[in-house]
Amino acid sequence: MKLTASAWNENIVDKNVIKANHFDDYETLYLQISGSDNLVPGYTSKKLSNFIDKNLQKTYLEMSKY
């Protein structure tokens, strides 16, 4: 997800190409991870949803509106 977000935000790859080839998977992962309350093994109290940072969230919102 971070690689896709970087390519999107830094205009490394045409946004039409990213949207057509990667958005469905990005959206599936984003929605599943951001909505998860599961604790991550190895962390005492970190939920899976805590791994969705502001950059990933911003990218998802921009991609979904594009």
This prediction has a pTM of 0.89
Q: Which residues fall within 8 angstroms of residue 27, CB to CB, at 6 or more apart?
A: 60, 63, 64
Write the CB contacts of 29 (distance below 8 Å, at least 6 apart in sequence). 1
- In this prediction, residue 66 carries a pLDDT of 96
Sorted by where each begins, the domain ranges of the chain are 2-65
Q: Which residues pair with 27 in a beta bridge?
A: none
Give the pLDDT score at 44: 84
What phi, psi does 39 have (nearest 5°)?
-75, 145
pLDDT tens track for 5-38:
999 999 999 999 999 999 999 999 999 999 999 9
What are 31-64's pLDDT values in tens digits? Answer: 999 999 999 999 888 999 999 999 999 999 999 9
Confidence of residue 2 (pLDDT cuts 50, 70, 90): very high
